[in-house]
Structure formats: C-alpha cells, structure tokens
C-alpha cells in the first residue's frame, strides 16, 4: 500500500495553516480547521484525514461540540491531548460569541434569544436559567436554575424567586432549551410558566417572558400572548 505524503510535503497552497494565513480562516473547510487544531495525524492518516473522520463520525463541528470527551477519544488516534485541544478551541469560540452577543439591555424576545443561543450550543440535556433584570431591563445577573432531567415546576419557581429577591430584581425572564431542537412548549412548560407568573405577581416582580430555545429558533410565551398576558 502506497503511503500518502505528509502535509508538509503538499503544495503550499494546499496546506491548511498556509492557506489560513494567505486566504483567511473562513476559506478553510471544517476538516481543515480541525486539522490545524490536531496538528499531526495518525499512522497512515494525515491531520486532514483525521479532521474528515471527526466530521463524518460525529456529524460536523456541532457534533464535535456535543460529543463527550470519551466519545472523541474513542476514535483511533485521538487521545486526551488532541481531545482537550478540540474542546478548548470550541469553548473559546463560544465565549467570544457570548461577549459579542451580550446587550446592555434587552428590548425584545429576539434579543434575549440571540444572547442565549450560544449558551445552549452543544447542550445534550435540558437547562433552565433565569435572567434577572433591573427596572430598565439591564441584565443584573443570569442564574442556572436546573440542568439535566426536568424537575417539578414548584422547584423552578422557588429557586427563581429566591434569586430574584436576593438581587432585588425588578423583572425576570426565564429561558430553557429543548435539546430536540423543537421550540414548541410542552404541557409542563405551560404549567411552569403559570406557577412562575403566580409567584412573581405575589412578590410584585414582573415575569417578562418565558423563552424556549430550539435549534436556530425560539418560542416566546409573551409574543404568543400565552399565559403571561
């Protein structure tokens, strides 16, 4: 079997690192970007071959993000060092997106969804968080209320209100994701929203919205005039 030449022996314009410097990172394929992070390949496979394998096995960059470290390390040639490099690079990109997306204040459900999309990227389980706002809709803090298996709505309600009172928040927006990618509310989502609104009304705190994040889509209870109005 003929051994393939290493990437260092390829024409300069075909090498991922040189291509990135000359043409910009946006010119590279997903496999080429992964190859730069991997640096070297495995026996009989170049770094680009390994990048293509990752894309094929895990379903693209989003699949690499969603995969547990153990799943990546199960692929031949990908040990702890390369897996850590991949996960670290993806997390850096997500953190940059969060910084760029963060508004000073929220004026619409669309703005809140844009702020929250990066937070749920790659999430394999449901996460429920609260955005605590002042009287001008400026973000005071965000709090992760629950992660994993959905809990009873009364648990969500108590934790959200405790955090709101602790920070003297004037308003609350609660947000959670549907890992399925479908943003339509379930009966449990509607029950949780009702209980949150009842508790917020008693404490004279405005529950502005409950937003469900799907895959590049969202559902706003306020926009649909559902329960909150």
pLDDT for res 46: 82
In the chain, what are the domain boundaries?
Answer: 9-98, 104-220
**What integer pLDDT is reported at residue 148 of this predicted model?**
75
**pLDDT score at 18:** 87
Close Cβ partners of 13 (under 8 Å, ≥ 6 residues apart) = 19, 22
pLDDT given for residue 133 in this prediction: 94
Q: What is the pLDDT of residue 124?
A: 81
Q: Could you say which architecture CATH assigns to the domain 104-220?
A: 3-Layer(aba) Sandwich (3.40)
Per-residue tens of pLDDT for the chain, all 229 residues = 444 545 655 654 567 888 888 888 888 889 888 888 888 877 778 888 888 989 898 888 888 888 888 999 998 888 899 999 999 998 888 878 766 655 568 889 999 999 998 888 878 888 999 999 998 888 888 898 888 765 566 678 899 999 999 989 999 999 999 988 899 999 999 999 999 999 999 999 999 999 999 988 999 999 998 777 6
What is the pLDDT, as a whole number, of residue 95? 78
The pLDDT value recorded for residue 2 is 46
């Amino acid at each position: 079997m003929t051994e393939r030449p290493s990437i260092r022996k390829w024409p300069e314009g075909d090498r991922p690192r040189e291509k990135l410097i000359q043409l910009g990172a946006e010119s590279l394929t997903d496999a080429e970007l992964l190859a730069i992070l991997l640096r070297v390949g495995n026996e009989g496979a170049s770094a680009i071959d390994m990048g293509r394998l990752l894309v094929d096995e895990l379903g693209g960059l989003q699949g690499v993000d969603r995969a547990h470290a153990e799943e990546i390390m199960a692929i031949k040639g990908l040990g702890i060092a390369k897996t850590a490099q991949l996960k670290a690079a993806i997390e850096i990109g997500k953190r940059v997106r969060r910084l760029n997306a963060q508004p000073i204040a929220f004026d619409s459900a669309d703005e809140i969804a844009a702020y929250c999309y990066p937070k749920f990227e790659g999430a394999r389980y449901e996460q429920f968080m609260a955005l605590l706002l002042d009287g001008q809709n400026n973000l005071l803090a965000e709090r992760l209320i629950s992660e994993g298996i959905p809990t009873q709505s009364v648990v969500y309600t108590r934790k959200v209100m405790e955090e709101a009172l602790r920070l003297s928040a004037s308003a609350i927006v609660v947000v959670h994701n549907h890992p399925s990618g479908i943003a339509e509310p379930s009966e449990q989502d509607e029950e949780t929203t009702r209980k949150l609104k009842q508790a917020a009304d008693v404490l004279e705190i405005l529950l502005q919205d409950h937003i469900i994040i799907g895959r590049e889509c969202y559902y706003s209870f306020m926009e649909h005039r559902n329960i909150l109005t």
